[in-house]
Amino acid sequence: MAGPLPDGDQAPADGLFSNTEIQGHESRTFHAYVHIPFCKDICGYCDFNTYTATQLGTLKQSDYARSLISEISLSAEVLAKSGVAPRKFTTVFFGGGTPSLLPAEDLIEILNALSDQFGFVEGAEITTEANPDTVTVEKFTKLRKAGFNRVSIGMQSAVPSVLKTLERTHNPDNVANAFQIVRDLGFGTSLDLIFGAPGETIDQWRDSLEAAIALSPDHLSAYSLIVEPGTKLARQINSKELVDVDEDLQAEKYELTEALLAEAGYGWYEISNWSKSEALQSNHNLAYWLGQDWWGYGPGAHSHLGSVRWWNQKHPLTYSKKLESFVSPAAGREQLSEQTAALERVLLESRTSSGMSISDLVALEPAAGKKVPGLIVDGLIQGEQAIKGQLVLTVKGRLLADAVVRILTD
């Protein structure tokens, strides 16, 4: 969702799909991503499609749920008219931006629209992201009753000076309060952390990890800070106001993350994600990595169905205006060739702890097989797993995942 939208073909105004485009959907599960593009302040490092109240033009946050509900109705109509048999959602993920900035009533209305139009499978995972300052007992009691069952809290760091560099405005004490509220209400829990803020020491990162582990969440994501071009953080680094991210220190922090989380009983299942058990992995994230089908609702949201992917108009105002005129908010779409889709899937799977099948990879990239022994010798993939036919990254390989993929596909 970060950065400009991709090029691609013009999406038709009615949003309909051809038989070729929907090919392959029958064997996939179906998932919903709901984008809430509002934040109280924009963090200096963030390039996501999100806006403060003053950046929204004439669009009011209070009207936004109506636009999303229009897209949900449109999606049901488009899928039916395109010949896609009705399917229930396996997971729903409200992300942002800051979903928890909207009133509970709006979030519930959107969730109910998804339920009315499509329904949810038994035990569906229904997550919302939340910033620590926006979690109240009153709001989250309503969300829990309405069917939300998992909350991902943006903790990022436990160290005030690091939060300040990242321009996170929340009070670090609020993380534990917010966490307690959602846990007591029976939500599944996840915490998001970022490592590598300029000036962050290894001890400060250890403090953040230990504070997160002390809360004992079901699930943890730890992201290496990406300096996105065009962000305030990138400008601060270019002007030497802040030091650049140190790649060697990043590697050390990742190794520490794996060591402390493993010791605390968390298993990694994707490069940036760990959970207390397999059952507590994020099914929604896994759906992306395993190439399932999903509809992304909201401005700038990306979707994938059969062999087509598409993306919506980026600005919330343009997005809402399209829907008001009964026109699809899709800005562009792209038909994936069988070869591209298979290669992308294999590359995404390589980031997971299940890894990718070496025979599938060789079928797509015949030269890749010869490179496997060298990757084992260099300590980048697990030898034992390779003998069993799976390519699974070692901790060193996880640090160099992009390079491993380049070696395999060059």
Ligand X SMILES: C[S@@+](CC[C@H](N)C(=O)[O-])C[C@H]1O[C@@H](n2cnc3c(N)ncnc32)[C@H](O)[C@@H]1O
**Contact set with ligand X (CB under 6 A):** 45-46, 48, 95-96, 98, 129, 131, 154, 156, 192, 194, 223, 225-226, 228
Q: Are 217 and 189 in contact (CB under 8 A)?
A: yes
Which of ligand X, ligand SF4, none is residue 114 near (CB under 5 to 8 Å by kind)? none
225 binds, among ligand X, ligand SF4, none (CB under 5 to 8 A by kind): ligand X
| Choices 35-43, 145-153, 231-239, 333-341; region in contact with ligand SF4 by CB under 6 A | 35-43
For residue 55, count CB atoms less than 10 angstroms from its CB and return exposed for 0-12, middle for 13-18, buried for 19 or more: middle
Q: Rounded CA gap, 70 and 84, in Å?
A: 19
Using the minimum distance from each CB to ligand SF4, give the nearer residue, 96 or 397.
Answer: 96
Q: How far is the CB of 253 from ligand X (least distance, A)?
A: 13
Angle at 38 between CA 48 and CA 250, to 5 degrees: 35
Q: Which residue is nearest to ligand SF4 (CB)?
A: 46
Q: Closest separation between CB of residue 300 and ligand SF4, Å?
A: 12
Binding-residue pattern over the window 115 to 144 for ligand SF4, x denoting contact by CB under 6 A: ----------------x-------------
- Asked whether the beta carbons of 361 and 404 are under 8 A apart, the reply is no
DSSP SS3 for 277:
coil
CB 132 → ligand X: shortest distance, Å?
A: 9
Residue 313, number of CB atoms within 10 A of its CB: 24
Alpha helices for 297-337 (secondary structure H): 316-324
> What tokens appear for 54 in the block?
């003053």
Binding of residue 43 to ligand SF4 (CB under 6 A): yes
User: Which residue, among 138, 151, 59, has the nearest Cα to 98 in the 3D structure?
Assistant: 151
98 binds ligand SF4 (CB under 6 A): yes
Neighbours of 138 (CB within 10 A): 8
For ligand SF4, the closer CB: 154 or 172 = 154
Query: Any contact of residue 223 with ligand SF4 (CB under 6 A)?
Result: no
Q: Which of 21, 64, 97, 200 binds ligand SF4 (CB under 6 A)?
A: 97
175 binds, among ligand SF4, ligand X, none (CB under 5 to 8 A by kind): none
**96 near ligand SF4 (CB under 6 A):** yes
Calculate helix-pair angle for 316-324, 61-81, nearest 10 degrees: 60
Residue number with CB closer to ligand SF4 (106 or 349): 106
Measured from the CB of residue 129, what is the shortest distance to ligand SF4 in angstroms?
8
Dihedral through CA 127, CA 77, CA 1, CA 331, nearest 10? Answer: -170
Q: What angle do CA 294, 130, 108 make, to 5 degrees?
A: 65
39 lies in the binding site for ligand SF4 (CB under 6 A): yes
Residue 348 Cβ vs ligand X, minimum distance, rounded to whole Å? 18
Q: How far apart are CA 262 and CA 84, in angstroms?
A: 43
45 versus 118: smaller Cβ distance to ligand X: 45
Tokens representing 165 are: 């560099």
CB closer to ligand X, 131 vs 283: 131
**Sole binder of ligand SF4 in the list 34, 36, 46, 111 (CB under 6 A):** 46
CB of 195 to ligand X, least distance (A): 9
Place of tokens 């299940």: 354
Residue closer to ligand SF4 (CB basis): 98 or 273: 98
Q: List phi, psi (to 5°) of 38.
A: -125, 140
Spatial distance between the Cα atoms of 393 and 112, rounded to a whole number of angstroms: 40
Q: What is the CA radius of gyration of the chain?
A: 21
Q: Which of 50/115 has CB closer to ligand SF4? A: 50
Contact 161, 189 (CB under 8 A): no
Q: Which of residues 349-408 bind ligand SF4 (CB under 6 A)?
A: none
The option from ligand SF4, ligand X, none interacting with 42 (CB < 5 to 8 A, set by class) reads ligand SF4
How many residues bind to ligand SF4 according to rule CB under 6 A? 11
Amino acid (1-letter code) at residue 275: S
The token pair that represents 275 in the structure block: 């959970």
Give the binding site for ligand SF4 (CB under 6 A). Answer: 39, 42-43, 46, 48, 50, 96-98, 131, 154
